[in-house]
Amino acid sequence: MTIETKRKIQALSIVLFILYLFLLTYFLFFSEGFGRVYTEREYAYNLEPFREIRRFWIYREELGFWAVFTNLAGNVICFVPFGAILPVLNHKARNFFVITFLSFEFSLLVECAQLISKVGSFDVDDLLLNTIGGMAGYILYVICDAIRRKHDSKKTKQDRGR
């Protein structure tokens, strides 16, 4: 891969990551469609692992598909870009454990911000699901990088054969 191509990928990754952060902020703090409206209420939090996951699964028929999907799968999906783009932006983040830690840390920051702002709630299950999303994003990055490297390797061999 040429230096020019690497620079273009880096610039595109920066733009995508900033867009991702804006969209994540909107959906987590401002989207009325997801019930993100500030109200004068008590602090809401769940510190018992798997409590909300279990509740959503047990009452899935009463809650409906959309509510269960947005809570369980949505928390995973919303952190996939974090784990997929960050390794492109920073060489030090090209490690499964680093991405896992950073995903957890960023999710903790988001959950604390939700608790303090009283928009949404602090939920330990969200920490778990968000971290799994970051890990899945990193696995996606590794797969894409392996495909790119294999493609580059074939291209180099073809160029040598000419």
- What digits encode the pLDDT tens for the residues 43-78? 888 999 999 999 999 999 999 999 899 889 999 999
Give CA–CA dist 79/134, Å, rounded.
5
Percentage of the chain beyond pLDDT 70 is 93
- In this prediction, residue 35 carries a pLDDT of 55
Residue 36 pLDDT: 55
- Whether the pLDDT of residue 124 is over 60: the answer is yes
Name the phi and psi angles at 76, rounded to 5. -75, -50
Does this model's pTM top 0.85? My answer is yes
CA–CA separation, 87 vs 99, rounded Å? 8
CB 34 within 8 A of CB 70: yes
pLDDT digits (tens, 9 = 90+) for 66-115: 989 988 999 999 999 999 999 999 999 999 999 999 999 999 999 999 88
Question: Looking at 18-22, 69-73, 103-107, 137-141, which range is the least confident one?
Answer: 69-73
From 26-30, 34-38, 119-123, the region with the lowest mean pLDDT:
34-38
Residue 31 clears pLDDT 90, i.e. is over it? no
Distance CA 48, CA 68 (A): 19
- Mean pLDDT, all residues of the chain: 90
pLDDT band for position 118 (cuts 50, 70, 90): confident
CA distance 59 to 65: 10
Alpha-carbon span 114 to 28, nearest angstrom: 8
Are the C-beta atoms of residues 46 and 121 closer than 8 Å to each other? yes
Predicted pLDDT of residue 155? 77
Q: What are phi and psi for residue 42, nearest 5 degrees?
A: -70, 160
Q: Are 130 and 154 in contact (CB under 8 A)?
A: no
Helices (H) and strands (E) in the chain, counts: 8, 2
Using DSSP's 3-state secondary structure scheme, residue 47 falls into coil
